[in-house]
Chains A and B, each alone.
Chain A
Amino acid sequence: MAKVLEGPGMGLLSKWGMAVPHYVVITDAAQLDSLSQANPWLRESKLVVKAHEAIGGRMKLGLVKVGLDLAAARNASEEMIGKEVAQVNISQVIISEMVDHEEEYYIAVKSTRSGAELLLAAMGGIEVEENWEKVKKLDVPLGSDPELTDVEALAKSAGFDDALVKKVAEFGIKLFQCYDQEDGNYLEINPLVVRKSNGELTALDAVTMVDGDARFRHPDWNFSFASEFGRPYSDNEKTIMEIDSRVKGSVKFIEIPGGDTALLPAGGGASVYYSDAVLAMGGTLANYSEYSGDPPDWAVEALTEKVCSLKGIKRIIVGGAIANFTNVKKTFSGIINGFRKAKAEGKLEGVEIWVRRGGPFEKEGLAAMKALENEGFNIHVFDRYTPLTDIVDYAIKGVKA
């Protein structure tokens, strides 16, 4: 699942024939001067200015301003761009027209195991969350399209006025098309409104999640994916993502400021068990990381450097199950190089390193790790005979085997 920001998300809806408000995305308030000459709606409509970043709760943070004229929108943009909010530097804003409307509705398509669900409610905004039982669902089996009559029946059952049923159903079909053709995971329009001026159903706000793995068959996806956890990716995270995108296997890195325990485990499955173990022992996580699929040693080295740079950590957990085909000796040599570099840069002062691993060339890899003792590292190395997450217990409780 990959999140698409509002601008490109609106672009996808529009591509499949759904009406969206006029909008522009800018990185500098001055761009509005020329844009407003080319686009009369910027001069004629009331405007909304929003930070175009993956930040949760924008309304509360004051990153959404409504009911502005062009001059006020320019001021609001100027104020937002370059501002540091919740440790995030706002680099873009989206300016869209306010669409005059009365009722608000909700429509969504969600991927399910057997196909998809089309969800519809004759209410919008936060009302939907509060009245989830009033949302009506239509199952669409994989490989089929929803029938217009079925969507009309859905709209009726959701309580839409007869006059609107056909329009909503047609809109639903378009939304499904967009979901299906664009490899969507989840498309939600909330609110969906009727534009007073022309009676057209218009998507005022949307959540757009597409399948990032399908990028290869969408040459027109010219946007990058946004983070989904309420803040944009940091530079360190972006560096590792960039490496991840071009190597065999994978390296993953997410920072969690303030934690005392850094993770450098192998394996998508084991890494989550290590995270659980840290929290179960009363530790706090400084990051989530994993490497898997026998990545090149330099990629693991780069990941190690980022892990060693985490502020305020007391320990690093180099855990891992018994690898199937990841070369323990080679990936460990990447980690060892990363440790040496970090140490030379004065990092790792007072940081304990705890290691547990098995797999191809485990003896050699573990011996090389153990040899770091002689270089002044505070390192504790365990092999397959120590259960997977026991090193976390030792590390946090201070008990040694």
Chain B
Amino acid sequence: MSILANKETRVLISGGPAGVNAAKRMAEFCHLSRLPYNVSAFVFPPDAGKTIEVPFGSELVSVPVFKSVADATKEFPEINASLIYIGPNRAYAGTMEALAEPNIKLVSMITEGVPEKDAKKLRIEAERLGKTFNGPSSIGIISAGESRLGVIGGSFDNLVLCRLHRQGSFGVITKSGGLSNEIMWICSQFADGITTAIGIGGDTYPGSDFATYLEMFEKDPQTKAVVMVGEMGGDLEELAAAWYAKAPRRIKLIAVVSGYCQEQLPKGMKFGHAGAKEGLHGEGSARSKAEALRSAGAIVPATFGGLGPAIKQTYEDILASGDIKPIDEEALAPRHLPKPIESAIKDGDVFAEPLVKSTICDDRGEEPLYSGYPASELINKGYQIPHVIGLLWDKRLVSPVEAEIIKRIVILSADHGPCVSGALVTIIAACAGIQMAQAVAAGMIMIGPRFGGAVTGAGKWFSHAVKNNMTVDEFLAYMKENVGPVPGIGHRVKSVRNPDKRVKELISYVKSTGIPTPHLDFALAVEEKTTAKKDTLILNVDGTMAAVLVDLSFPVESLNGFFILSRTIGLIGHWIDQNRQGSRLVRLFRYLANYTTGKRREVPPLES
């Protein structure tokens, strides 16, 4: 048994992210206590129509979001409680909306800084309707093993430590959220734990107060004693004392009051809670409250430190009276919270089959490792971009000569003016207002067999020929029969008489280094044969790069990458260039299109 919240409580949460956080904490509690989830819906107009996914044990529960309380309760008539997680300027309206709903009997508000007048109006409205309004500034309500409303109880570990998965014998009422947790902890250490704990909030005029809840606890047979944490200011502790003294009470009352410090501190000083303030004429002092409670028969330790022993003594007295028995903890073990997969792996509890494998780069440390080498160390030791290419494309540190050749290849192929298909497409895209990533990608899509994309193909077949010791004639015959035109041979505009300066430059540098170049030599021999047939069948820049890179033993799959990488520099340049100029949309001139669609004719009637 419990008060206010039990296994039948179904909750509507009004508000945004803070409410969602509470919903998650509530799901942890339900899982711990082997209960179905108690949150039915959210009200949050900006997200109406969506659902919010809440982890529940090892699953996700979808909780729908509605525009209004009425919409939510129409869909979920079982909703009987509401939590308010709305800002102070709209909390009043949101609470009135919830109170107006016939099935909702309990509204608890966490919002702090709600105007006093609003809180008073809400309490009176709730009283008029015979409902309970708890808060403002309430951390929530928790009934051990039955229901959690709000974040009261804190983290999952704390729920377990405080044994909140099962009922004890102590009720708890506090103004402070942190202290509600502290008292639950004390009750589980020194006694058998709690039935229900309520944070009433530290405002001057809380919606419901100590006396209201004491009356409820008195009627709950499971609750044998109530721990009440008060503070200076207002008269709620005095009202509680009056209630306790008014008639013989079944429940024992243990209470502490804070605020003795006010006797030595400047009058009128503000403490953490809005209500924690003596009256202008010294009403509501800690001492007078404690005295009122003590003379009403409550157990009132002189300090907070005295609470533990007082609770322990009370528990032992109740045990001795035979009213309760010690709880068999084994029979009521809490359920554990499934670990997130990452911490389970970390703790060595599970093995997860990886989905992808990376052999080049490891980012799990404080910086990426390129084939094992920390990026910062590469920089500090003077390595350059060609070395990074070597590490990430071929998992090795290239030699100084190789690095120089790669650098030259990148420089030579970085751009080739606005007219080539890649640059043209990027420019057209830039002029159409397309963003950089998409415009550059559009240009890159042009890279293929006819533009820049023949490097891999050329490398593949030159390498095939060299490996199989083919003669040039054998190779050309093989290609003619099985493949088609030789990749890397032939140019649209360049020819023997109009040579490609880039090609000459690259070849002469590679030759000057003295490295063995069997593939380049073979490619040049092929060129000699093909140009004899046709002037434009020269070894083009793709073919030259391919032959050189295969000579450097780069894998065939990587070869197109050298052109793609280099030309990306140019494509980005073209995009920036067009944007800086503020270029306008371009379209093809009609005279550049050859229209061969036939004459205009009449459309025949549509056949039915």
User: Which residues of A does B touch, CB under 8 Å?
Assistant: 1, 111, 113-115, 142-143, 180, 183, 185-186, 211, 213-214, 216-217, 227-231, 250, 252, 254, 256, 266-273, 275-280, 284-285, 288, 290, 292-293, 320-326, 358-361, 384, 387-390, 393
Contacts and interface: CB of A to CB of B under 8 A. Distances in A.
A375 B117 CA distance: 51
A294 to B, nearest CB: 10
Contacts of B89: 216-217
B272 A115 contact: no
A105 to B, nearest CB: 19
A276 to B, nearest CB: 5
B272 A268 contact: yes
A267 B179 contact: yes
Given A142-B120, A269-B175, A388 B305 contact: yes
A278 B261 contact: yes
Interface in B260-298: 260-261, 263-274, 276-277, 280, 286
Nearest to B259: A272
Interface in B73-107: 88-89
B509 interface: no
Given A272-B261, A324-B151, A360-B155, A213 B303 contact: no
B462 interface: no
A267 B176 contact: yes
A267 B261 contact: no
A269 B272 contact: yes
13 contacts: A1-B274, A230-B268, A250-B112, A252-B272, A254-B270, A256-B266, A267-B179, A268-B272, A323-B181, A324-B152, A324-B181, A359-B158, A387-B308
B154 A360 contact: yes
Contacts of B114: 213
B117 A211 contact: yes
A214 B115 contact: yes
Contact of A387 (B21, B274, B277, B305): B305
A2 B303 CA distance: 30
A41 to B, nearest CB: 32
A273 B271 CA distance: 11
Contacts of B221: none
Interface string B173-194: 0111111111001100000000
Nearest to B183: A321
Contact of A324 (B153, B175, B277, B308): B153
A252 B117 CA distance: 24
A20 to B, nearest CB: 22
Q: Which of A254, A272, A293 has the most CB of B within 10 A?
A: A272
Most chain A beta carbons < 10 A, residue from B114, B115, B204, B304 = B304
Contacts of A322: 154, 158, 178, 181-182, 185
Given A269-B272, A270-B178, A290-B272, A389 B116 contact: no
Given A254-B269, A284-B264, A359-B181, 5 more contacts: A183-B115, A267-B176, A270-B176, A320-B178, A393-B305
Contacts of B263: 279
Nearest to B88: A213
A45 B235 CA distance: 46
Contacts of B259: 272, 276
Interface of B: 21, 25, 88-89, 112-117, 120-121, 124, 139, 151-155, 158, 161, 174-182, 185-186, 202, 204-205, 229, 231-232, 235, 256, 258-261, 263-274, 276-277, 280, 286, 302-305, 307-308
A358 B185 contact: yes
Contacts of A360: 154-155, 158
Given A276-B259, A323-B154, A185 B202 contact: no
Question: Which of A276, A284, A320, A388 counts the most chain B CB atoms within 10 A?
Answer: A276
Nearest to A393: B305
The 5 closest A-B pairs by CB, nearest first: A269-B176, A268-B272, A267-B178, A228-B268, A321-B178
Nearest to A270: B178
Contacts of B113: 213
A386 to B, nearest CB: 10
Contact of A269 (B161, B177, B186): B177
Contact of A216 (B88, B139, B280): B88
B272 A229 contact: no
Contacts of A389: 303-305
A290 B271 CA distance: 8
A211 B178 contact: no
Contact of B265 (A113, A217, A227, A285): A285
Nearest to A54: B268
A143 B124 contact: yes
B185 A285 contact: no
A267 B176 CA distance: 8
B178 A272 contact: no
Given A228-B270, A276-B261, A267 B177 contact: yes
A359 B274 CA distance: 24
Contacts of A323: 154, 178, 181
B274 A213 contact: yes
B259 to A, nearest CB: 6
A269 B270 contact: no
A396 to B, nearest CB: 13
A252 B261 contact: no
A252 B273 CA distance: 11
B155 to A, nearest CB: 4
Contacts of A278: 261
B227 to A, nearest CB: 13
A272 B271 contact: yes
Contacts of B116: 111, 183, 185, 211, 213-214
A279 B261 contact: yes
Contacts of B115: 183, 211, 213-214, 217
B273 A269 contact: yes
Contacts of B152: 324
Nearest to A293: B112
Contacts of A393: 305
A194 B502 CA distance: 104
B303 A267 contact: no
Given A186-B280, A272-B231, A324-B152, A214 B117 contact: yes
Contacts of B25: 325
A388 B176 CA distance: 14
B123 to A, nearest CB: 8
Contacts of B182: 270, 321-322, 358, 388
Contacts of A252: 270-272
A84 B277 CA distance: 29
A115 B273 CA distance: 21
Contacts of A272: 231-232, 258-259, 261, 271-273, 276
A288 B120 contact: no
A330 B182 CA distance: 20
A347 B177 CA distance: 33
Contacts of B178: 266-267, 269-270, 292, 320-324, 326, 359
Contacts of A269: 174-179, 202, 229, 231, 258, 272-273
A216 B115 CA distance: 10
A252 B235 CA distance: 25
Contacts of A270: 176, 178-179, 182
Contacts of B264: 279, 284-285
